[in-house]
Amino acid sequence: MPSGNTPEGRPGLDALQSRLGVAIDPELLTLALTHRSFAYENGGLPHNERLEFLGDSILGQAVTVRLYRDNPELDEGALAKRRASVVSGVALAEIARSLGLGEFLRLGRGEELTGGRRKVSILADTVEAIIGATFLSAGPDEATALVLRLVAPLMTDPARFGAALDPKTALQELADERHAPAPVYDVTGTGPDHAKTFHATVTVDGVATGHGEGTSKKHAEMAAALDAWTQATSAGA
């Protein structure tokens, strides 16, 4: 397994495995980090979408079982809403950022130039692929344990369920509670029209300023709103 830094100057797989807290076969982990853009630009190599498909199922099952067992008072609708928030792209991308996952991705040149390491969809899909790789490499128990570690911040803080599912509404409600003006979003786009990356900043007077990126204005604003909400509630501003 590689150690130290890669020739490209990014940390090796051992650094990521340490952050994940589980031993994953290096070939499977490399595959989980390989976006289709990299695969296509390098002769049609295998990429991570099959692992993503597997990981999505494991993620959903692990979260569903935990929510069911820990919340006997909730009905089906409430459980479904909580599950949707935990497995949402915005929540998974936040998990990916907490791991520094972007620096480990194998991306094609086009994605590299358009901010692929920060895109919500790519980060979220890679988290699912890593879960799939863990299942194949270490077994179902380790894969479930990894899922529950990754989603723990959401599962242990009920307020975050709503914020992860609908961060713009959550931030608006927080501003209302604190008698602050409505959040103001500023969004800019970079890159060609067919592959833009959007950068959003949201400011809530007297509460917080958040930043986010995404492949659409909506995703960028959602990421910025969640960033601001997290800052404000963590600091108790």
Contact 207, 180 (CB under 8 A): yes
Q: Out of 56, 166, 221, 227, pick the active-site residue.
A: 56
Cα 98 to Cα 18: distance, rounded to the nearest angstrom: 13
26 CB burial (10 A radius; 0-12, 13-18, 19+)? middle
Structure tokens at 144: 């479930």
Q: Out of 128, 166, 213, 227, pick the active-site residue.
A: 128
Cα 64 to Cα 94: distance, rounded to the nearest angstrom: 20
Token pair 């589980």 in the structure block, residue: 22
Is 141 annotated as ligand-binding?
A: no
Annotated active-site residue 103? The verdict is: no
Q: Residue 212's Cα: distance from chain center in Å?
A: 12
- The per-residue b/e assignment along 111-149, b for 16 or more CB within 10 angstroms, e otherwise, is beebbbbbbbebbbbbbbbbbbbbbbbbeeebbbbbbee
Q: Which amino acid is at 76?
A: E
Q: How many CA atoms lie within 13 A of 48 on its CB side?
A: 30
CA distances from 2 to 26, 125, 134 (A): 8, 23, 18
Is 41 annotated as ligand-binding?
A: no
Is 52 annotated as ligand-binding?
A: yes
Annotated active-site residue 128? The verdict is: yes
**Residue ranges of the binding site for Mg(2+):** 52, 125, 128
Catalytic residues: 56, 128
**Residue ranges of the binding site:** 52, 125, 128
